[in-house]
Structure 1
Protein backbone atom coordinates (compact mmCIF):
# COMPACT_ATOMS: atom_id res chain seq x y z
CA UNK A 1 0.00 0.00 0.00
CA UNK A 2 1.19 3.54 -0.70
CA UNK A 3 1.24 5.77 2.38
CA UNK A 4 1.88 9.41 3.00
CA UNK A 5 3.35 9.97 6.46
CA UNK A 6 3.02 13.37 8.09
CA UNK A 7 5.37 13.63 11.06
CA UNK A 8 4.18 16.27 13.49
CA UNK A 9 6.48 19.01 14.74
CA UNK A 10 9.76 18.20 12.98
CA UNK A 11 12.19 20.97 12.09
CA UNK A 12 9.78 23.71 13.15
CA UNK A 13 11.35 26.86 14.58
CA UNK A 14 14.71 25.15 14.94
CA UNK A 15 13.29 22.50 17.26
CA UNK A 16 13.25 18.71 16.92
CA UNK A 17 15.72 18.73 14.06
CA UNK A 18 15.88 15.58 11.97
CA UNK A 19 17.62 15.28 8.63
CA UNK A 20 15.26 13.92 6.02
CA UNK A 21 17.91 11.42 4.85
CA UNK A 22 17.94 10.03 8.40
CA UNK A 23 14.14 9.88 8.45
CA UNK A 24 14.07 8.05 5.10
CA UNK A 25 16.67 5.56 6.37
CA UNK A 26 14.66 5.11 9.59
CA UNK A 27 11.48 4.35 7.67
CA UNK A 28 13.25 1.94 5.35
CA UNK A 29 14.69 0.06 8.37
CA UNK A 30 11.10 -0.39 9.54
CA UNK A 31 9.79 -1.92 6.34
CA UNK A 32 9.22 1.11 4.15
CA UNK A 33 10.00 0.73 0.47
CA UNK A 34 10.60 3.30 -2.27
CA UNK A 35 10.61 5.99 0.42
CA UNK A 36 10.76 9.61 -0.73
CA UNK A 37 10.63 12.82 1.26
CA UNK A 38 9.34 16.27 0.45
CA UNK A 39 10.81 19.40 2.06
CA UNK A 40 12.35 19.38 5.52
CA UNK A 41 9.22 19.14 7.67
CA UNK A 42 8.56 15.41 7.96
CA UNK A 43 6.61 14.53 4.83
CA UNK A 44 7.33 11.04 3.52
CA UNK A 45 5.81 8.90 0.80
CA UNK A 46 6.46 5.15 0.87
CA UNK A 47 5.12 1.66 0.35
CA UNK A 48 4.44 -0.70 3.24
CA UNK A 49 2.46 -3.91 3.77
CA UNK A 50 1.08 -3.17 7.28
CA UNK A 51 -2.23 -1.50 8.09
CA UNK A 52 -2.11 2.20 8.98
CA UNK A 53 -3.09 2.08 12.67
CA UNK A 54 -0.61 -0.54 13.88
CA UNK A 55 2.08 0.83 11.58
CA UNK A 56 1.77 4.39 12.93
CA UNK A 57 2.01 3.15 16.53
CA UNK A 58 5.03 1.00 15.76
CA UNK A 59 6.77 3.85 13.96
CA UNK A 60 6.06 6.38 16.72
CA UNK A 61 7.60 4.10 19.36
CA UNK A 62 10.64 3.34 17.22
CA UNK A 63 11.03 7.03 16.31
CA UNK A 64 11.14 8.10 19.97
CA UNK A 65 13.74 5.44 20.72
CA UNK A 66 15.88 6.41 17.73
CA UNK A 67 15.67 10.22 17.83
CA UNK A 68 15.10 10.86 21.54
CA UNK A 69 11.80 12.73 21.31
CA UNK A 70 8.23 11.99 20.27
CA UNK A 71 6.60 12.89 16.99
CA UNK A 72 3.04 11.90 16.33
CA UNK A 73 2.63 10.39 12.89
CA UNK A 74 -0.47 10.73 10.75
CA UNK A 75 -0.70 8.19 7.94
CA UNK A 76 -2.95 8.53 4.93
CA UNK A 77 -3.22 6.32 1.87
CA UNK A 78 -2.93 7.92 -1.54
CA UNK A 79 -6.72 7.72 -2.14
CA UNK A 80 -7.38 9.28 1.28
CA UNK A 81 -4.97 12.13 0.56
CA UNK A 82 -6.51 12.68 -2.89
CA UNK A 83 -9.98 12.74 -1.36
CA UNK A 84 -8.94 15.29 1.27
CA UNK A 85 -7.31 17.45 -1.39
CA UNK A 86 -10.40 17.35 -3.61
CA UNK A 87 -12.71 18.09 -0.68
CA UNK A 88 -10.99 21.40 0.17
CA UNK A 89 -13.89 23.90 0.03
CA UNK A 90 -12.11 27.28 0.03
CA UNK A 91 -9.99 27.12 -3.13
CA UNK A 92 -10.62 30.29 -5.12
CA UNK A 93 -8.37 32.17 -7.54
CA UNK A 94 -8.38 35.32 -5.42
CA UNK A 95 -7.01 33.45 -2.37
CA UNK A 96 -3.37 32.68 -1.69
CA UNK A 97 -2.54 28.97 -1.57
CA UNK A 98 -0.09 29.48 1.28
CA UNK A 99 -3.06 30.38 3.50
CA UNK A 100 -5.08 27.32 2.40
CA UNK A 101 -4.45 24.54 4.89
CA UNK A 102 -5.68 21.07 5.66
CA UNK A 103 -5.38 19.61 9.15
CA UNK A 104 -5.12 15.84 9.28
CA UNK A 105 -6.47 14.36 12.52
CA UNK A 106 -4.51 11.58 14.13
CA UNK A 107 -7.62 10.11 15.78
CA UNK A 108 -11.33 10.72 15.99
CA UNK A 109 -12.14 14.37 16.76
CA UNK A 110 -14.64 15.35 19.43
CA UNK A 111 -18.20 15.67 18.07
CA UNK A 112 -18.12 19.45 18.61
CA UNK A 113 -14.69 19.97 17.00
CA UNK A 114 -15.96 21.99 14.04
CA UNK A 115 -18.07 24.17 16.31
CA UNK A 116 -15.06 24.85 18.57
CA UNK A 117 -12.85 25.87 15.63
CA UNK A 118 -15.56 27.95 14.00
CA UNK A 119 -16.04 29.81 17.27
CA UNK A 120 -12.36 30.82 17.24
CA UNK A 121 -12.29 31.92 13.61
CA UNK A 122 -12.06 35.61 12.83
CA UNK A 123 -14.07 37.27 10.08
CA UNK A 124 -11.28 36.57 7.54
CA UNK A 125 -10.88 32.89 8.47
CA UNK A 126 -12.88 29.95 7.19
CA UNK A 127 -13.19 26.49 8.76
CA UNK A 128 -14.77 23.27 7.52
CA UNK A 129 -14.57 19.62 8.52
CA UNK A 130 -14.84 16.39 6.57
CA UNK A 131 -14.56 13.46 9.00
CA UNK A 132 -10.86 13.33 10.02
CA UNK A 133 -9.76 16.36 8.00
CA UNK A 134 -10.18 20.01 8.84
CA UNK A 135 -9.94 22.71 6.21
CA UNK A 136 -8.75 26.22 6.97
CA UNK A 137 -8.35 29.42 5.09
CA UNK A 138 -6.31 31.96 7.05
CA UNK A 139 -7.32 35.15 5.25
CA UNK A 140 -5.14 37.28 7.52
CA UNK A 141 -2.23 34.84 7.48
CA UNK A 142 -1.46 32.02 9.88
CA UNK A 143 0.80 34.13 12.13
CA UNK A 144 -2.20 36.16 13.36
CA UNK A 145 -4.60 33.25 13.61
CA UNK A 146 -5.86 31.91 16.93
CA UNK A 147 -6.67 28.66 15.17
CA UNK A 148 -3.22 28.16 13.64
CA UNK A 149 -1.58 28.40 17.06
CA UNK A 150 -4.15 26.28 18.86
CA UNK A 151 -3.40 23.21 20.95
CA UNK A 152 -5.59 21.00 18.77
CA UNK A 153 -5.26 17.93 20.94
CA UNK A 154 -6.63 19.75 23.98
CA UNK A 155 -9.48 21.48 22.12
CA UNK A 156 -10.46 18.77 19.61
CA UNK A 157 -9.57 15.57 21.44
CA UNK A 158 -6.97 14.57 18.85
CA UNK A 159 -3.76 15.89 17.43
CA UNK A 160 -3.76 17.56 14.02
CA UNK A 161 -0.87 18.08 11.70
CA UNK A 162 -1.45 20.80 9.16
CA UNK A 163 -0.11 21.14 5.61
CA UNK A 164 -0.75 23.72 2.90
CA UNK A 165 -2.26 22.96 -0.50
CA UNK A 166 1.06 23.10 -2.34
CA UNK A 167 2.60 20.51 -0.04
CA UNK A 168 -0.41 18.21 -0.34
CA UNK A 169 -0.38 18.51 -4.13
CA UNK A 170 3.31 17.65 -4.25
CA UNK A 171 2.90 14.65 -1.91
CA UNK A 172 0.11 13.31 -4.13
CA UNK A 173 2.30 13.79 -7.20
CA UNK A 174 5.21 11.92 -5.57
CA UNK A 175 2.90 9.09 -4.42
CA UNK A 176 1.44 8.72 -7.91
CA UNK A 177 4.95 8.17 -9.27
CA UNK A 178 5.78 5.27 -6.92
Structure 2
Protein backbone atom coordinates (compact mmCIF):
# COMPACT_ATOMS: atom_id res chain seq x y z
CA UNK A 1 0.00 0.00 0.00
CA UNK A 2 1.17 3.53 -0.73
CA UNK A 3 1.08 5.81 2.31
CA UNK A 4 1.64 9.45 3.04
CA UNK A 5 2.99 10.30 6.50
CA UNK A 6 2.47 13.83 7.75
CA UNK A 7 4.64 14.43 10.81
CA UNK A 8 3.55 17.24 13.11
CA UNK A 9 5.95 19.83 14.49
CA UNK A 10 9.21 18.95 12.76
CA UNK A 11 11.69 21.68 11.83
CA UNK A 12 9.33 24.45 12.95
CA UNK A 13 10.83 27.54 14.56
CA UNK A 14 14.19 25.84 15.04
CA UNK A 15 12.71 23.10 17.22
CA UNK A 16 12.67 19.33 16.69
CA UNK A 17 15.14 19.55 13.84
CA UNK A 18 15.48 16.39 11.80
CA UNK A 19 17.15 15.88 8.47
CA UNK A 20 14.69 14.41 6.02
CA UNK A 21 17.26 11.81 4.95
CA UNK A 22 17.27 10.59 8.57
CA UNK A 23 13.48 10.48 8.61
CA UNK A 24 13.40 8.50 5.36
CA UNK A 25 15.99 6.09 6.76
CA UNK A 26 13.86 5.70 9.92
CA UNK A 27 10.81 4.70 7.86
CA UNK A 28 12.86 2.31 5.76
CA UNK A 29 14.18 0.62 8.93
CA UNK A 30 10.57 0.08 9.94
CA UNK A 31 9.48 -1.59 6.72
CA UNK A 32 8.99 1.36 4.41
CA UNK A 33 10.11 1.08 0.81
CA UNK A 34 10.76 3.71 -1.84
CA UNK A 35 10.50 6.40 0.83
CA UNK A 36 10.72 9.96 -0.43
CA UNK A 37 10.27 13.29 1.29
CA UNK A 38 8.88 16.62 0.21
CA UNK A 39 10.31 19.81 1.72
CA UNK A 40 11.80 19.87 5.19
CA UNK A 41 8.66 19.63 7.31
CA UNK A 42 7.95 15.93 7.62
CA UNK A 43 6.01 15.00 4.49
CA UNK A 44 6.88 11.48 3.36
CA UNK A 45 5.52 9.09 0.75
CA UNK A 46 6.36 5.40 0.87
CA UNK A 47 5.22 1.84 0.30
CA UNK A 48 4.55 -0.42 3.29
CA UNK A 49 2.99 -3.87 3.63
CA UNK A 50 1.29 -3.22 7.00
CA UNK A 51 -2.28 -2.04 7.35
CA UNK A 52 -2.90 1.61 8.16
CA UNK A 53 -3.92 0.79 11.75
CA UNK A 54 -0.90 -1.45 12.42
CA UNK A 55 1.49 1.05 10.92
CA UNK A 56 0.04 3.94 12.93
CA UNK A 57 0.43 1.98 16.19
CA UNK A 58 4.07 1.17 15.71
CA UNK A 59 5.53 4.30 14.10
CA UNK A 60 4.99 6.89 16.84
CA UNK A 61 6.65 4.92 19.66
CA UNK A 62 9.50 3.95 17.33
CA UNK A 63 9.92 7.59 16.31
CA UNK A 64 10.15 8.72 19.95
CA UNK A 65 12.69 5.97 20.72
CA UNK A 66 14.80 6.92 17.70
CA UNK A 67 14.71 10.72 17.85
CA UNK A 68 14.16 11.37 21.56
CA UNK A 69 10.91 13.35 21.29
CA UNK A 70 7.36 12.72 20.17
CA UNK A 71 5.80 13.73 16.90
CA UNK A 72 2.22 12.94 16.10
CA UNK A 73 2.04 11.21 12.75
CA UNK A 74 -1.03 11.45 10.56
CA UNK A 75 -1.10 8.65 8.01
CA UNK A 76 -3.21 8.57 4.88
CA UNK A 77 -3.35 6.19 1.96
CA UNK A 78 -2.90 7.60 -1.52
CA UNK A 79 -6.64 7.21 -2.32
CA UNK A 80 -7.53 9.04 0.92
CA UNK A 81 -5.21 11.93 0.07
CA UNK A 82 -6.55 12.09 -3.49
CA UNK A 83 -10.14 12.15 -2.21
CA UNK A 84 -9.37 14.98 0.22
CA UNK A 85 -7.70 17.00 -2.52
CA UNK A 86 -10.63 16.46 -4.87
CA UNK A 87 -13.19 17.38 -2.17
CA UNK A 88 -11.64 20.79 -1.42
CA UNK A 89 -14.63 23.16 -1.80
CA UNK A 90 -13.02 26.62 -1.93
CA UNK A 91 -10.82 26.42 -5.04
CA UNK A 92 -11.46 29.42 -7.29
CA UNK A 93 -9.35 31.37 -9.76
CA UNK A 94 -9.53 34.58 -7.68
CA UNK A 95 -8.12 32.90 -4.55
CA UNK A 96 -4.47 32.33 -3.75
CA UNK A 97 -3.56 28.67 -3.57
CA UNK A 98 -1.16 29.25 -0.68
CA UNK A 99 -4.14 30.27 1.49
CA UNK A 100 -6.05 27.07 0.62
CA UNK A 101 -5.38 24.48 3.30
CA UNK A 102 -6.54 21.04 4.31
CA UNK A 103 -6.33 19.81 7.87
CA UNK A 104 -5.98 16.08 8.38
CA UNK A 105 -7.38 14.86 11.70
CA UNK A 106 -5.47 12.27 13.62
CA UNK A 107 -8.69 10.70 14.94
CA UNK A 108 -12.42 11.29 14.71
CA UNK A 109 -13.18 14.90 15.71
CA UNK A 110 -15.92 15.96 18.13
CA UNK A 111 -19.40 16.16 16.61
CA UNK A 112 -19.45 19.94 16.99
CA UNK A 113 -15.98 20.53 15.51
CA UNK A 114 -17.17 22.19 12.31
CA UNK A 115 -19.57 24.42 14.22
CA UNK A 116 -16.79 25.55 16.55
CA UNK A 117 -14.33 26.25 13.74
CA UNK A 118 -16.95 28.11 11.72
CA UNK A 119 -17.77 30.28 14.73
CA UNK A 120 -14.10 31.38 14.90
CA UNK A 121 -13.83 32.21 11.20
CA UNK A 122 -13.56 35.82 10.10
CA UNK A 123 -15.45 37.12 7.07
CA UNK A 124 -12.42 36.29 4.87
CA UNK A 125 -12.11 32.72 6.19
CA UNK A 126 -14.02 29.67 5.04
CA UNK A 127 -14.28 26.30 6.77
CA UNK A 128 -15.77 22.98 5.69
CA UNK A 129 -15.45 19.37 6.81
CA UNK A 130 -15.69 15.98 5.20
CA UNK A 131 -15.10 13.16 7.68
CA UNK A 132 -11.61 13.57 9.14
CA UNK A 133 -10.59 16.27 6.67
CA UNK A 134 -11.12 19.97 7.34
CA UNK A 135 -10.90 22.48 4.54
CA UNK A 136 -9.84 26.06 5.12
CA UNK A 137 -9.44 29.19 3.09
CA UNK A 138 -7.53 31.87 4.98
CA UNK A 139 -8.25 35.01 2.94
CA UNK A 140 -5.72 37.08 4.90
CA UNK A 141 -3.22 34.23 5.33
CA UNK A 142 -2.97 31.81 8.19
CA UNK A 143 -0.49 33.81 10.29
CA UNK A 144 -3.12 35.95 12.00
CA UNK A 145 -5.97 33.46 11.94
CA UNK A 146 -7.56 32.34 15.20
CA UNK A 147 -8.37 29.04 13.54
CA UNK A 148 -4.88 28.30 12.22
CA UNK A 149 -3.34 28.97 15.63
CA UNK A 150 -5.90 26.95 17.57
CA UNK A 151 -5.05 24.07 19.87
CA UNK A 152 -7.13 21.65 17.82
CA UNK A 153 -6.65 18.72 20.16
CA UNK A 154 -8.17 20.67 23.03
CA UNK A 155 -10.94 22.33 21.03
CA UNK A 156 -12.13 19.65 18.57
CA UNK A 157 -10.91 16.51 20.31
CA UNK A 158 -8.11 15.56 17.94
CA UNK A 159 -4.90 16.95 16.55
CA UNK A 160 -4.86 18.31 13.00
CA UNK A 161 -1.92 18.68 10.74
CA UNK A 162 -2.50 21.25 8.03
CA UNK A 163 -0.99 21.35 4.56
CA UNK A 164 -1.58 23.71 1.64
CA UNK A 165 -2.94 22.49 -1.68
CA UNK A 166 0.42 22.82 -3.41
CA UNK A 167 2.04 20.46 -0.89
CA UNK A 168 -0.82 17.97 -1.13
CA UNK A 169 -0.64 18.03 -4.95
CA UNK A 170 3.10 17.37 -4.84
CA UNK A 171 2.69 14.50 -2.37
CA UNK A 172 0.04 12.91 -4.59
CA UNK A 173 2.29 13.30 -7.63
CA UNK A 174 5.21 11.69 -5.80
CA UNK A 175 3.08 8.86 -4.41
CA UNK A 176 1.62 8.05 -7.82
CA UNK A 177 5.16 7.38 -9.07
CA UNK A 178 5.96 4.75 -6.42
State how far apart, in whole Å, the 2-side matches of 1:148 and 1:106 are. Answer: 16
SS at match of 1:59: helix
Query: Taking structure 2 as the reference length, what is the TM-score of the superposition?
Result: 0.99
Aligned to 1:170: 170
Q: Give structure 1 stretches of 5+ with no counterpart.
A: none
Q: Which runs of 5+ in 2 are unaligned?
A: none
> What's 1:86 paired with?
86
Q: TM-score, normalised by structure 1?
A: 0.99
Q: Which residue of 1 aligns with 2:42?
A: 42
Partner of 1:58: 58
| Counterpart secondary structure, 2:143 | helix
Q: CA deviation at 1:57?
A: 2.0
Q: State the shift of 1:54 in Å.
A: 2.0
Per-residue deviation, residues 29-67 of structure 1 (Å, max 9, x unmatched):
000000000000000000001111221121100000111
**Partners of 2:147 and 2:171 in 1: CA distance:** 24
Q: Please identify runs of 4+ aligned residues in structure 1 that moved more than 4 A.
A: none
Does residue 72 (structure 1) correspond to residue 88 (structure 2)? The answer is: no
Q: CA RMSD in A?
A: 0.5
- 1:143 is aligned to 143
Q: Distance between the aligned counterparts of 2:153 and 2:95, measured in 1?
A: 28
2:95 corresponds in structure 1 to 95
User: How far, CA to CA, are the matches of 2:15 and 2:85 in structure 1?
Assistant: 28
Aligned length: 178
